[in-house]
Structure 1
């Protein structure tokens, strides 16, 4: 599966970069493939591991003092073939270059 996760700490300061950096540290520790972008992070892996990583991000941000978190999550799964995040990007780049 591939997800797009956007974690928004609430009840904190206007800048949330420290909280997001902590989520990235959590993801680094999972061994999952992930890519941060300007408004979230794409994460790929098996269902249970990815959802455990989302939970761990929430737990870490709460531990930092955020009393509330609002997250958006987009989930993509496939059963017809295996496809990584990079595969999806490569297909579009091939079309752009042809």
Structure 2
């Protein structure tokens, strides 16, 4: 499965970078394929391992704030590996094909 999630402390002001960095640190230490952009962190693996990482990342933010917001989107598809890369490559191929036309 691929999960894109965002976890943010609530009530701790506008600068949430330190708490978010702790969440990303948890994800990167997990060893699972992952990517972080300006809005979400995406992680790929089996259900139990991915959800464990999301829980631990959320707990890392909760250490800085008693209230957090968690937004999560999941793509659950059996038999797919390296979906984070394959899905993007598929779109890029299509864009390249239409550019040639």
- SS of the residue aligned with 2:15? coil
Equivalent residue, structure 2, for 1:91: 90
The structural deviation recorded for 1:48 is 0.3
- Alignment partners' CA distance in 1, 2:61 and 2:38: 18
Instruction: State the TM-score, normalizing by the size of structure 2.
Output: 0.89
Mark the structure with the bigger radius of gyration: 2
Equivalent residue, structure 1, for 2:76: 77
Equivalent residue, structure 1, for 2:20: 20
- Alignment partners' CA distance in 2, 1:86 and 1:95: 15
Q: CA RMSD in A?
A: 1.1
Answer yes or no: is 1:30 the counterpart of 2:30: yes
How many residues align? The count is: 96
Instruction: State the TM-score, normalizing by the size of structure 1.
Output: 0.91
Q: Which runs of 5+ in 1 are unaligned?
A: none
